[in-house]
Chains A and B, each alone.
Chain A
Amino acid sequence: MANSNALLTSLNGLAAGLFLMSSFGLAATRQMQGCLRFYITQSICLVVSALLLGLGLHAPDLLAVAVLDAVVKPIVIPVLLRRTVPEAVFRRREIAQVLNIPSSLLIALALTLLAYFLSGYLPPATGSLASINLPVGLAGLFIGVYTLTVRREAVPQLIGIFGIENGALLCGFAIASGLPLVIEMAFPFDMLIIALVIGILTRMTHERVGTTEVGGFTSLREGIGK
């Protein structure tokens, strides 16, 4: 029993490590396709972590959530985005970003350190198996916010939001297992509607304005010179 638990802990550590790596990827990659692939990797890590925690903590609800998330996050959402967002948007290779890649990586690193310190302010994880999820999830959340702030393109901004949500859930699985199933099911469903709504909004913008570089949208502002 102790052996299998140690195995689960190290596997969960591996999943969390890969999760963190893909968060860095989200913040730093220059290609639209790459951005989506990093999001898929991150979601798979989230699912794996939920499965391992479900096994290790004997929490059947986490297993159910893992199955649901495995369908929605890495499969349905990317397909949905592909369908709704015009192909031309996805072919872009150089996506504009306010800060360059080395500074982005450095900032992501700083945010990860910050997350390690701040994770002590969250409720303690259920068992030592899950404790790695707290700092990594929080780091994923911070890096997602950072990605959202510096990206100037519509789809990478949306994927930044998904990164925030994934981070919050990675933490959530570790501290809040045993949520009623209705609520657990609401989370992936919510993400699905967000992907649909913003995907269609992106398409409308592309059709109407001719670009999805939302960072350049500055016609609504206050004051002189307008």
Chain B
Amino acid sequence: MILLFILGLPLMAALISALPLGRRVAPAVTVATCVAVLVLTVAAALRVVAGESVVTIRNWIAIDGLSALILLLVATVGSTAALFSWGYIAREKSSRHLRRYYANYNLFVFAMLSVPMLDEPNLVWTGVELTTILSVYLVAFENTGEALEAAWKYSVLTIMGGAIALLGFLALYAATRGRYAEGAYTWRTLIVLAPGVSPRVLETAFVLILVGFGAKAGLVPLHTWLPDAHSQAPSPICALLSGIKTTVILYVILRLIPVLNSSGKIDVDEWAMVVGLFSVGIAAFLIIQVTDYKRLFAFSTVEHMGIILTAAGIGGAAGHYGAVYQILNHTLTKSFCFFAAGATLLAVDTRQIADVRGLIRTSPPAGVALLFGGIAIAGAPPLAVFLSEFSILRSGIAKQHYVATALLAGFVIVAFFGILYHLNRMVFGQPDPAIESAAPIRLPVSCVLTLILAAAPIIILGVYMPEPLHKLLLMAADGLTR
């Protein structure tokens, strides 16, 4: 039952947000719902960790370790981004736009919650399509020429990807049809039946889904829409898109890795490593030449999607653990980065790196947040991303993938210096005298609160891993192995 509540609450909140009940109601309802969903997902995840099976409708709606982790992350970022929206979107004068924003926000969260919960692969495709379609307006929300351009590129490329992936899903279904009990077509069934499927068909289906959903997850070379959409959308939406939406879609691709591995005749690890490294490499060098700090973080998302896929390709228990650990840390850190970027945007009202100098003096909270976000996402010790990247590199050496590991390490270092080079110039440096003499800009309370709440897990996970979370990660990694 718990899973149905998790799905139902955002739908109800979307309905209430759409009603004209005053400017405060929609944000309050959205935050309350998202926090309630977070509490419920924590409860569900704890049950998974305790070894109970959380099944609401057998073969249709159920979660295991891997999906519990993704569900937890969706609910976490959903809550922090809702809180950040409260102060950030309040600038919008039209109450109608405000209501539409929150109604759409809740629907988007609903779609993302549905993906890890669904157990029938074809329905998962529908869920993924919904995440795309329901976020198009959120990207276009600011209704400027640039925002519409970004929304256009985003919708066309990612919906095209969805249509290509559809054929892949139908092929998977067709290849295994009739060899399981009526109505029992699930991810698990696919793994069990994969050895009997012609490897050629299985590989074709995988490539169709990799290309199609790769476009949605921002894997190179179909990543071109990502920096546009993830920079033009309102910052809380960027946090959702970059922090978790790309991960939710990568999760679907990762689900296929054990299927292909159980077939035993296809080298899926090689596919994952090559595509992953390609994304990391291209993104690392693109980071160096950005001129817009939100695009900087967007390219870093492409890089991290590549790192996760590479880790999944390195394989073995250690590689898979590195992949899920990186998913956890990337989501928490990247959403924080976009909150910091949103705070900076509120403080300086420009997205250009070159126009921002001495942020730490003109707006200390935004400056500190941006610096912390940059250091954390670049992977500096002792923060969380450093630990997961280090564990991935170590698993690569242990599995004797020396070339891949060396390339990965090289690209990560290039990205590290690229990110810090840009942020260093923004945060320190001599501010424009005109700006410096002006009164410091006050950030909305909800934004500052979000920054503090979102920073806490990044710091804590760097030094301490709670036992249930560790267990959940192990179970999730196990889901990639078998």
Contacts and interface: CB of A to CB of B under 8 A. Distances in A.
Contacts of A58: none
Nearest to B289: A223
B461 interface: no
A161 B123 contact: no
A141 B171 contact: no
Given A168-B170, A194-B133, A123 B163 contact: no
B400 interface: no
A201 B140 contact: yes
A86 B256 CA distance: 43
B170 A175 contact: yes
Contact of B146 (A161, A178, A220): A220
User: Which range contains the number of A residues in contact with the other chain?
Assistant: 35 or more
B133 A165 contact: no
Contacts of A154: 152
A204 B140 contact: yes
Interface in B101-157: 120, 122-123, 126, 129-130, 133, 136-137, 140, 143-146, 148-153, 155-156
Interface in A112-154: 118, 121-123, 138, 141, 144-145, 148, 154
A180 B136 contact: no
A180 B149 contact: no
Interface string A210-226: 00001001011011001
Given A176-B173, A183-B126, A186-B123, A121 B200 contact: yes
Given A121-B204, A179-B122, A182-B123, A217 B153 contact: yes
Contacts, number: 135
A31 interface: no
B166 A168 contact: yes
B153 A201 contact: no
B54 interface: no
Interface string B163-193: 1101100110111010000010000000000
State the majority secondary structure of interface residues on A. helix
A204 B148 contact: yes
A94 interface: no
B175 A157 contact: no
Contacts of B123: 182-183, 186
A123 B152 contact: no
B159 interface: yes
Given A171-B170, A186-B123, A148 B160 contact: yes
B151 A176 contact: no
B53 interface: no
B368 interface: no
Interface in B321-368: none
Contacts of A148: 156, 160
B149 A222 contact: no
Nearest to A196: B133
A164 interface: yes
B295 interface: yes
B228 interface: yes
Contacts of A222: 227, 286, 289-291, 295
A122 B204 contact: yes
Nearest to A151: B156
B232 interface: yes
A183 B152 contact: no
Nearest to B149: A217
Quick one: which of B129, B137, B166, B177 has the most chain A CB within 10 A? Answer: B166
A201 B136 contact: yes
Contacts of A176: 170-171, 173-174, 177
Interface string A184-198: 001100100110011
B64 to A, nearest CB: 21
B201 interface: yes
B354 to A, nearest CB: 10
A164 B155 contact: no
A41 interface: no
Contacts of A91: none
B119 to A, nearest CB: 13
Interface in B390-440: none
Given A121-B200, A123-B175, A208 B143 contact: yes
A123 B232 contact: no
A122 B143 CA distance: 43
A219 B351 CA distance: 14
Contacts of A204: 140, 143, 148
B145 A197 contact: no
A13 B297 CA distance: 51
A78 to B, nearest CB: 18
A161 B126 CA distance: 16
A56 interface: no
A220 B150 contact: yes
A168 B143 contact: no
Given A201-B155, A204-B140, A179 B150 contact: no
B290 to A, nearest CB: 6
Nearest to A137: B167
A172 interface: yes
Contacts of B133: 190, 193-194, 197
23 contacts: A118-B204, A121-B201, A123-B171, A138-B167, A168-B166, A168-B167, A169-B166, A171-B170, A176-B171, A176-B173, A176-B177, A187-B126, A190-B130, A193-B133, A194-B159, A197-B136, A201-B137, A204-B143, A208-B145, A208-B148, A217-B153, A220-B150, A222-B295
Ranked nearest first, the 6 interchain pairs of A and B with the lowest CB-CB distance are A175-B174, A172-B170, A164-B163, A123-B174, A168-B167, A121-B204
Given A183-B126, A217-B153, 4 more contacts: A158-B156, A182-B123, A190-B129, A222-B227
